Amino acid sequence: GVEWWIKEYVGRRAILPRKLLLAFGLIFHSFTACLAFYAYTSSVRRRERLTQYNTLADVANLLQKSQRIMVLSGAGISVSSGIPDFRSKNGLYQMLKSSFEFDLDDPQQMFDLEFFRENPRVFYSFAKEIYPSNHEPSLSHHFIKRLETQQKLLRNYTQNIDDLESSAGIQTVLQCHGSFSKATCLQCGTQFPGKILEHDVLLQRVPICPTCPPPASKPPKKIKKLANPWDGGDESESDVDDSPKAILKPNITFFGEKLTDRFDKLLRLDRETVDLLIVMGTSLKVVTPVSEILSHIPHSVPQILINKTPIKHMNADVVLLGNADSIVRYLCAEALGPGWELPSTSLSAQRPVRKPQSVPRRVGDSHVWLFEGAEGGDFVANLEQAQTASNPSIGNESYEIRQSKRARAS
């Protein structure tokens, strides 16, 4: 019946509902009906956690035996490199929101294509914060490279635009949202190596295409702008950025641009062979279609989350919360052992590892582990409460204490 059909095509084959609707020419005239259909199919597609995986030993075993590991990474793995993420309280959007120079309706306008065409100065005033110059890969980047060296990396799908994957030597990588490695003129379409942007980016200037005729200089125009009617409704004048149209744009995907066909092609291939999914340094919020990658992966494939905060819509088998660098350092040094050593970097030299290295805490007897920098919030609090209710002997004992007790008992 209908339920089997949805489970087969939406659940097992992971075909997005909107594609099925288009294929059969189905159009919902009722928005409520559309939402109901999507909610139903989403509940059918929701993955059940694989309960045989719970411990750090399970994580180590998965890393050792898996041969086609897909890594989905985000801005969180570059924070220790000095590149801010986007949505945290100290992230790029908050920096832009706190700036008095630009009065934006939404900080995400910085990455809106039409807004960039009209006012590129906003983007280039902040681009140096995320430009890869003078930044080096983090331990998390080197961990992904270690997977590749061990011939275990199927592909690194990165949402980052800083190109630090290339700096770490990762070759099997798809930069889903592009990078600063290349730039294109919006007027003539000529493509240039990304290095052409560096001087202007660091000086916070709008880079101009060297092959297009130079623009005639003229003062910025003044336009009348209606103020918020709640503030009195007075008209005010503001500058319009009259930048030349032959501007260079880095080859990163802005809002309003679609991802390359290569993303869909590779994902179709990789979902057939992946045997382990690791999500690192990303909340998987807002930005589609990358945030929908989870729905394309067969439910039988184990999933590990390495992130500072939980992802409530991801039912990962093992959840490792904390700073990504601290987590991969611990896994490689304590759980995986010889052959998994990570290189020394100036980043680790600036933040030396405490001796002895802090031991992660397990939340009760669950699949959730807390490392340095973890921000578990209500997710961990509710889980601890549920664990205590089901097994009062656990209480709030730390993982270290329980391990010590077990060692003495054995």
Q: Which tens digits make up the pLDDT trace of 257-297?
A: 888 889 989 999 999 999 999 999 998 875 677 878 888 89
Q: What is the pLDDT of residue 203?
A: 93
At 1-56, the pLDDT tens digits run 455 666 677 666 777 666 766 666 655 544 444 545 555 455 446 789 999 999 99
Q: What is the pLDDT of residue 245?
A: 80
What's the CA gap between 305 and 324, in Å, rounded?
A: 10
Strands (E), 198-343: 221-226, 235-240, 248-252, 276-280, 303-307, 318-321
In sequence order, the 6+-apart residues with CB closer than 8 A to the CB of 90 are: 84
**Count of residues making up the chain:** 410
Query: Which pLDDT band holds residue 355 (cuts at 50, 70, 90)?
Result: very low
Q: What is the pLDDT of residue 261?
A: 86
Question: Would you call 364 helix, strand, or coil by DSSP?
Answer: coil
Q: What is the pLDDT of residue 31?
A: 45
Query: Which pLDDT band holds residue 348 (cuts at 50, 70, 90)?
Result: low
Q: Where do runs of H (alpha helix) occur along 24-126? A: 31-45, 56-65, 92-98, 113-118, 120-126
Long-range contacts of 212-215 (CB under 8 A, 24+ apart): 212/185, 212/187, 212/188, 212/246, 213/246, 215/244, 215/245, 215/246
What's the CA gap between 248 and 102, in Å, rounded?
A: 21
Q: What is the pLDDT of residue 283?
A: 87
Q: Where do runs of H (alpha helix) occur along 168-302? A: 198-202, 261-270
- Please state, rounded to an integer, the average pLDDT across all residues of the chain: 80
Q: What is the pLDDT of residue 337?
A: 83
Mean pLDDT (whole number) for 363-379: 93
Q: What is the pLDDT of residue 30?
A: 46
- Beta bridge partners, 193, equal 182
**356: cis peptide before it, omega within 30°?**
yes
What's the CA gap between 239 and 223, in Å, rounded?
A: 7
pLDDT cut 70: percent of the chain above it: 69
* More confident call, 20 vs 366: 366
Q: What is the pLDDT of residue 230?
A: 42
Q: What is the enclosing helix (H) or strand (E) of 182?
A: strand 178-185
Q: What is the pLDDT of residue 339?
A: 87
**289: cis peptide before it, omega within 30°?**
yes
Tokens 């306008």 map to which residue?
109
Q: What is the pLDDT of residue 345?
A: 66
What's the CA gap between 299 and 296, in Å, rounded?
A: 9
Mean pLDDT (whole number) for 355-376: 86
CB 28 within 8 A of CB 37: yes
Question: Would you call 303 helix, strand, or coil by DSSP?
Answer: strand
Closest CA to 280 of 83, 91, 82, 71: 71
* 177 in catalytic set: yes
Q: What is the pLDDT of residue 256?
A: 74
Question: Would you call 280 helix, strand, or coil by DSSP?
Answer: strand
What's the CA gap between 302 and 278, in Å, rounded?
A: 9
CB 363 within 8 A of CB 310: no
Catalytically annotated residue among 141, 177, 199, 296: 177
Sheet holding 303-307, edge to edge: 173-175, 153-158, 69-73, 276-280, 303-307, 318-321, 368-370, 361-362
Q: What is the pLDDT of residue 29?
A: 47
Q: Which two tokens stand for residue 305?
A: 């989350």
